[in-house]
Amino acid sequence: MADFSFKRTVRITCPFGMAQHLETEIRDLGFTPLEVSETGIEISASLTDTISLNYWLRTAHRIHALIAETGHKDPDELKDWLRDIPWEEWIEGDGYFSVTSRVDHSDIENSQFANLITKDAVVDRMRSANDQRPDTGSDLNKTVLFLYWNDDVARIFVDTSGESLSRRNYRTENVSAPMQETLAAGIIRSTKWEPGQHFINPMTGGGTLAIEAALIAINRAPASLRNNFGFMHVKGFDEDAYYAVRKSAKEGVNKNPGGQIIASDIDPASTEAARRNATTAGVDHLITFETCDYSKTTIPDGKGVVVMNPPYGIRLEPGEDLRPLYAGMGDFLKNECAGKFGYVFTANNALSKKIGLRSNSRTLFYNSTLECRLLEYEIYEGSKK
């Protein structure tokens, strides 16, 4: 069986531009980053540690635990090296595994070829070790292996997450262009909002920003609705440790966070979808939903933030003009949101200039492949002194 207590290299991946927030989360959980890149962070941790990491990290995508690594290998050498790894300690003889990879090797044009090499090597080893072979395919809900292979190094990991951690399992109702949960968490962490303050989210769409804010406000683990992770399918899985993490997380929930969370949308279908998603997440009682134009959203007195994710205007319908919308958002922030910090998340730099306010900061994010900015505006009460 795999040794769940052994400290090994663990690489935690994240979307481009999210590493700063991921590093903060990792340190908050008591781990020290060994290496930080734009799309991931490496730490020293055990397989048991990955249980808490998977359960608590809000801005991570996947958590890969290193099994073995080697220097440059051609395809035949790679297969021989992989075949020498004792896979019978990691995978049940009658189990199931899948392979994903990232390949940047001068001799390899198709990453699927690398996946096939890995699958064949694992099956060969398992068959020779215990006269039976596991099934293999593309299902990420069982044991998942990840191969990183370039001209200098080959590294084989077990993916302790399986499905991406962005899949929180509460988004049962979709709207057009839904925001990914990890991106929403990163945006919230980039604002000056703190639990106990108001979080106002006009143009809420499917409600992802408001729901992620509610989860943070009550300190509920982002993976609390998931019941399957990659680490569960590794031989030696410590089930008691897993249930201890779940129990501790449940006991740490703050049922009275304070502050109002308000989510509005002009589209009744979007408001209803957001409400249903919040119900699935178990936070619908913490969010006030309003069906109205963004400019009519209730703005309570007291400290807080207003976060808007308007259309970007990337694919405009004939005759559609978003300039009045962006200008109107500026007026709304200036006239209705005094004493708060306003935020606009957009991929359209030209339209953002129509807001007509001077931003304090412009934080870079990527929404899929779109380069976006989170614009921050401090809305003063009265005249700025």
Q: Which CATH architecture has domain 8-159?
A: 2-Layer Sandwich (3.30)
∠ CA 109-112-115 to the nearest 5 degrees? 120
CA 208 – CA 63 distance, rounded (Å): 23
Smallest CA-to-CA distance from 22 within 156, 234, 182 is with: 182
Structure tokens that stand for 79 in this block:
């297969």
Please report, for the chain, the start and end positions of each structural domain, with discontinuous segments joined by +.
8-159, 181-220+255-378
Distance of CA 223 to the CA centre of its chain: 10
How confident is the model at residue 338, as a pLDDT? 96
| Cβ 23 vs Cβ 14: under 8 Å | no
Amino acid identity, residue 272?
E
How many whole angstroms separate alpha carbon 235 and alpha carbon 131? 18
Beta strand 304-308 with 370-378 is unpaired
Q: What tokens does 113 get?
A: 């070829």
pTM over 0.75: yes
Expressed in angstroms, the distance from the first to the final Cα of the chain is 66
User: Which tokens belong to 15?
Assistant: 């979307």
Give the CATH class of 181-220+255-378. Answer: alpha beta
pLDDT in single tens digits along all 385 residues of the chain? 999 999 999 999 999 889 999 999 999 999 999 999 999 999 999 999 999 999 999 999 999 999 999 997 888 999 999 999 999 999 999 999 999 999 988 888 777 889 999 999 999 999 998 888 899 999 999 999 999 999 889 999 999 999 999 999 999 888 877 899 999 999 999 999 999 999 999 999 999 999 999 999 999 999 999 999 999 999 999 999 999 999 999 999 998 899 999 999 999 999 999 999 999 999 999 999 999 999 999 999 999 999 999 999 876 665 579 999 999 999 999 999 999 999 999 999 999 999 999 999 999 999 988 999 999 999 987 655 4
The encoded tokens of residue 85 equal 């790894």
Give the largest CA-CA distance in the chain: 79
8 A C-beta contact, residue 349 and residue 375: no
User: What secondary structure letter does DSSP report for 11?
Assistant: E
